[in-house]
Amino acid sequence: MPKAWNQNRKQEYYYKKAKAENYRSRAAYKLAQTANKYQFIRRNDIVVDLGAAPGGWIQVARKKVGKKGFVLGVDLKPIESFAQDYIKTIIGDLTSPFIVNQILEFLPRKADVVISDAAPNITGTWEVDQAKQIDLADQSLKISLQILRLSGNFFTKVFEGSMLNDFVKKVKKHFAIVKLLKPKASRAKSSEMFLLALDMKSNIKLVEKLSKENS
Ligand SMILES: C[S@@+](CC[C@H](N)C(=O)[O-])C[C@H]1O[C@@H](n2cnc3c(N)ncnc32)[C@H](O)[C@@H]1O
């Protein structure tokens, strides 16, 4: 059977599944599959979702954290409201120097988990797209280091390519366990991958440096 045909069938499968299960995006399954396997979002957690529109990941995270948890979604675009409570969405730019304060304003305490599916507009030029994707992942990391509690978890989209190794090395400095993953719901032919970083280590000096940069 041709590979492309199989790929289209898989995408069609997740598209229909998302419609039937009332998820706002097929991307929801990328988070659901990883979170089910690694259990890095737990009941009562506070989750911050960076690049969250239209909201599929928010829906998955909200199911995991339950009514005593809280999910904050951030995106450049407005996100349509949800039927469930304990979800808040804000318009924000991950690259803005004010974003950390903007996020912290809405959190009752530091976050347990930061998830980021933030993606740039694709230009079609491979090097440019890879660099932009790694920049957004790096920006998400920077934010995470300031809003996560000690031992918190971080999950972000990345692109395969020459810049990925350096990014993984950087994340390893801050988290005890770092894994690169390709969930089943992610297109096999796309360069998209996900990085899961568990158990943030303490790094008071870095947090102080980053908060000074933002003040
Ligand atoms: C693939 S979509 C996210 C899909 C989402 N996880 C879901 O399941 O519905 C990527 C999002 O990243 C957002 N984004 C890209 N750059 C951003 C930035 N600098 N700040 C905030 N959001 C950004 C885009 O607006 C877009 O909505």
- Counting residues of the chain whose pLDDT is more than 90, the rounded percentage is 81
Residues in the chain: 215
CATH assignment, 3-214: 3.40.50.150
Q: Is residue 2 predicted with pLDDT exceeding 70? A: no
- Give me the helix-helix angle, 28-38 and 3-20, nearest 10°: 90
Please list every protein residue whose CB sits less than 6 Å from any atom of ligand 1. Answer: 24-25, 27-28, 51-57, 75-77, 93-95, 117-120, 136
Site to probe by mutation for ligand 1, drawn from 115, 136, 193 as the one with most ligand atoms within 8 Å of Cβ, is 136
Q: Round to whole Å and give the CA distance between 89 and 48.
A: 10
How far apart, in whole angstroms, are the C-alpha atoms of residue 87 and residue 213?
Answer: 29
Of 191 and 170, the structure prediction assigns the larger pLDDT to 170
Run of H or E residues at 194: strand 192-200
Taking residues 112-127, report their average pLDDT: 94
Identify each DSSP E strand in 46-191 by its residue range. 46-50, 70-75, 87-91, 111-116, 148-159, 175-181
CA proximity to 76, closest of 58, 90, 63, 87: 90
Do residues 157 and 118 make contact, with C-beta atoms less than 8 angstroms apart? yes
Tens of pLDDT along 125-146? 888 999 999 999 999 999 999 9
pLDDT at 209 over 80: no
Q: Which residues have a Cβ under 8 Å from the Cβ of 53 and sit 6 or more positions away?
A: 73, 75, 76, 77, 78, 79
pLDDT surpassing 70 at residue 7: no
What separation in Å is there between the alpha carbon of 65 and the centre of ligand 1?
Answer: 21
- Residue 159's pLDDT is 94
Instruction: Indicate if the pLDDT at residue 39 is higher than 90.
Output: yes
CA gyration radius for the chain?
17
Phi, psi of 117 (to 5 degrees): -110, 20
Confidence of residue 204 (pLDDT cuts 50, 70, 90): low
Is 11 or 85 the better-scoring residue by pLDDT?
Answer: 85
Per-residue pLDDT, 9: 63
Which residues have a catalytic role annotated? 157
Does residue 42 surpass a pLDDT of 90? yes
pLDDT at residue 6, rounded to an integer: 57
Model confidence at 210: pLDDT above 80 = no
Q: How do the domains of the chain map onto residue ranges? A: 3-214
Please enumerate in sequence order all residues whose Cβ is within 8 A of that of 149, keeping only pairs 6 or more positions apart, or say none.
Answer: 109, 110, 111, 112, 200
Whole-model pTM? 0.93
Q: Please give the distance, rounded to the nearest whole angstrom, from the Cα atom of residue 99 to the centre of ligand 1.
A: 15
pLDDT on residue 12: 86
Q: How far is the CA of 4 from the centre of ligand 1 (A)?
A: 26
